Amino acid sequence: MTVTISPRSATEDAAAALLSRHVESHLDAVEGLTREAPALIAWGTELADRLLRGRRLLAAGNGGSAAEAQHLTAEIVGRFDGERPPFSAISLHSDTSSVTAIANDYGYDEVFARQVRAHGRAGDVLVLLSTSGRSPNLLAAAHAARSIGATTWAMCGSRPNPLAAAVDEALCLPGIPAAVQEAHLLALHLLCRVFDERVRSRLQAGAGR
């Protein structure tokens, strides 16, 4: 999709063109996300069913993706857009003492993997966010989750990338890293919307808690 941002003066031409390219990349990522709607519906439904059975969500990312991982866990522990019970969800970067101790003693590549082995159980879900899909600490976390029987999902940039190959299922979007990260936030909100609706329908039917 072509987007034109009109400059107010000749000196703003370059900036306007830069912003237009960014918006175009964002729209490409969102268009890719619409094609992934069936995956998000399946993830939100499965996550609700598992957490209703007492399983746990773990999430991790680096930088801006860490903020989005924490956003996801906050929505699950709190609520998205309607009242429902809280569920167990841990953002693995948020315990700064554990992160710095593990990085100091075992190296930064292990900061998430060791926590997965500590907190995760068979049947849990680990969500990993990365625009590049190449972060060694996320790859190590995916392998750790597999070793304990947890399910792994990733939100990444374009295929092919190592993280998409290492997890059980991956949602991969086109675009520059910033646009992919922006679309990941939208994907998380869509996931939460499906999750909340599934939880409410299951509870109304007398299932789960």
Buried b (16+ CB within 10 A) or exposed e, 154-163: bbbbbeebbb
pLDDT at 209: 58
pTM over 0.95: no
Give domain status of residue 29, yes or no.
yes
Give domain status of residue 1, yes or no.
no
Distance between first and last Cα of the chain:
46
Buried b (16+ CB within 10 A) or exposed e, 187-201: bbebbbbbbbbbbee
Q: What's the CA gap between 119 and 56, in Å, rounded?
A: 9
Q: What's the CA gap between 40 and 48, in Å, rounded?
A: 12
| Cβ(158)–Cβ(134) below 8 Å | no
pLDDT at 32: 84
Give domain status of residue 136, yes or no.
yes
Give domain status of residue 4, yes or no.
no
Give domain status of residue 169, yes or no.
yes
Give domain status of residue 6, yes or no.
no
Give domain status of residue 7, yes or no.
no
Give domain status of residue 3, yes or no.
no
pLDDT tens digits in sequence order for the chain, 209 residues long: 566 656 555 567 888 888 888 888 888 888 888 998 999 999 999 999 999 999 999 999 999 999 999 999 999 999 998 899 999 999 999 999 999 999 999 999 999 999 999 999 999 999 999 999 999 999 999 999 999 999 999 999 999 999 999 999 999 998 889 989 999 999 999 999 999 999 999 999 986 65
Q: Which domain holds residue 162?
A: 12-204
Q: What's the CA gap between 190 and 187, in Å, rounded?
A: 5
Number of structural domains, the chain?
Answer: 1
pLDDT at 23: 85
The CATH number assigned to the domain holding 94 equals: 3.40.50.10490
